[in-house]
């Protein structure tokens, strides 16, 4: 038994390593809503010259959120595939990704709510010869609340469209990570590492810790829903618990009653 304990201790200590993660801003800004839609700007003409179409991009949303950000039970953030955002505003394609603060060098990409993905050819965003695949900017910040974010996919060349589908999904998931408030990490196992890696299938531990920090779930009852709002942030104005949240409590109570009530019934 002592040997087993020592072996167990050695195995656990060998894995005592921790990945890092960062935020995009000093205040830890994040979406206030737990449910955020991810949409693709459906521009007439699109960015066909780069090989990127809106249809292609919209097909990447679901795997990018399903296989990455929506898998974490300790996070309350729920991303939704919002499909197309129909627009005729060509600034989505041609505009500069910048805060609407009067300092933009060219017309900016329009303000959005939630997360909007667009192909983009602006030379300030993607200078000639740039190896950037995509850029993301939360465009509407109010205090520490992100109201919306734009993900601009580099359409000045075929660097994005030339990637395999799995890598395109990973790039999009990475940019969504920026949109929800996460910065880069120095750990290559994490999705928020700055460059594309050979195989990216799931989040790393740093990504999980980061999204848990920004969107901590509060007493999730077995997945039925949270019983509380935002306790760690003062619980002021948190969401009302969904009715299903009670089912978890009741099931637990019923389980105990069933197990112990029956066993302990007085014998005659």
Partner 1 sequence: MPASLAPLLGALLLLLNIVQASAAAEAVKLPEESESFTRQFKTIGFHLGGHTEFMGAVQTDTQGTRPKFRPAPLVGFSADVIVTDSWRLVPEINWMLPQSSDGVMRNLWMVRLDGAWQGGEWWRLRVGTSIMVNNIRGGGGTVTLDNGDSTSEFYLPSESKTAVNNTFDLGAEVFLRSFALRLQTYTYALARSDRRQLSYTLIASYYHDLWGTP
**Which of positions 238-257 make contact with partner 1 (CB under 8 A)?**
238-241, 244-250, 252-253, 255-257
- Give the residue, chosen from 37, 130, 141, 163, that forms a contact with partner 1 under the rule CB under 8 A: 130
- Give the residue, chosen from 56, 72, 94, 104, that forms a contact with partner 1 under the rule CB under 8 A: 72
Q: Can you tell me which residue has the tokens 């959005």?
A: 112
Give the shortest CB-253-to-partner 1 separation in angstroms. 5
Instruction: Note whether 46 binds partner 1 by CB under 8 A.
Output: no
Task: Give the number of residues in contact with partner 1, rule: CB under 8 A.
Answer: 96
163 contact partners, CB below 8 Å, separation of at least 6: 133, 171, 196
Q: Which stretch binds partner 1 (CB under 8 A): 43-51, 93-101, 103-111, 184-192?
A: 184-192
Q: How far apart are CA 207 and CA 222, in angstroms?
A: 22
- The secondary structure of residue 226, as a DSSP letter, is B
- Give the residue, chosen from 102, 143, 223, 243, that forms a contact with partner 1 under the rule CB under 8 A: 223
- Go through 32-52 and write b for each residue having 16 or more CB atoms within 10 A of its CB, e for each that does not: eeeebbbbbbbbeebbeebeb
Pull the structure tokens for residue 175. 């940019």
- Give the residue, chosen from 88, 128, 131, 142, that forms a contact with partner 1 under the rule CB under 8 A: 131
Q: Which stretch binds partner 1 (CB under 8 A): 83-91, 101-109, 114-122, 205-213?
A: 205-213
Q: How far apart are CA 184 and CA 132, in angstroms?
A: 15
Q: Is 87 helix (H, G, I), strand (E, B) or coil?
A: coil
- Give the residue, chosen from 32, 37, 70, 113, that forms a contact with partner 1 under the rule CB under 8 A: 70
How would you classify the pairing of strands 35-42 and 114-120?
parallel
Give the shortest CB-139-to-partner 1 separation in angstroms. 18
Instruction: Note whether 121 binds partner 1 by CB under 8 A.
Output: no
Instruction: Note whether 33 binds partner 1 by CB under 8 A.
Output: no
**Which of positions 78-117 make contact with partner 1 (CB under 8 A)?**
none
**In the complex with partner 1, which residue's Cβ is closer, 3 or 88?**
3
Candidates 46, 120, 37; CA nearest to 79 is: 37
Find residue 119's DSSP bridge partners.
153
């Amino acid at each position: 038994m002592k040997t087993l304990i020592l072996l167990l201790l050695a195995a656990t200590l060998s894995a005592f390593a921790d990945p890092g993660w960062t935020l995009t801003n000093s205040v830890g800004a994040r979406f206030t809503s737990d449910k955020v839609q991810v949409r693709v700007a459906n521009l007439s003409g699109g960015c066909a010259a780069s090989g990127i179409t809106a249809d292609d991009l919209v097909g990447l949303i679901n795997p990018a959120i399903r296989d990455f950000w929506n898998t974490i039970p300790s996070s309350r953030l729920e991303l939704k595939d919002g499909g197309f955002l129909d627009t005729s505003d060509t600034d989505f394609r041609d505009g500069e990704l910048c805060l609407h603060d009067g300092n933009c060098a060219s017309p900016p990409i329009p303000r959005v709510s939630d997360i909007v993905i667009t192909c983009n050819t602006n030379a300030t965003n993607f200078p000639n010869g740039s190896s950037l695949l995509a850029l993301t900017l939360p465009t509407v910040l109010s205090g520490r609340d992100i109201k919306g974010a734009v993900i601009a996919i580099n359409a000045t060349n075929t660097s994005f469209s030339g990637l395999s589908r799995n890598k395109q999904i990973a790039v999009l998931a990475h940019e969504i990570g920026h949109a929800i408030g996460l910065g880069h990490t120095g750990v290559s196992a994490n999705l928020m590492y700055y460059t594309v890696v050979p195989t990216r299938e799931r989040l790393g531990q740093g990504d999980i810790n980061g999204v848990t920090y920004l969107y901590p779930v509060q007493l999730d009852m077995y997945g039925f829903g949270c019983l509380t709002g935002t306790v760690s942030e003062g619980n002021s104005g948190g969401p009302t618990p969904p009715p299903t949240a009670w089912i978890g409590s009741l099931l637990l109570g019923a389980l105990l009653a069933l197990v112990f009530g029956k066993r302990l019934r007085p014998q005659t």
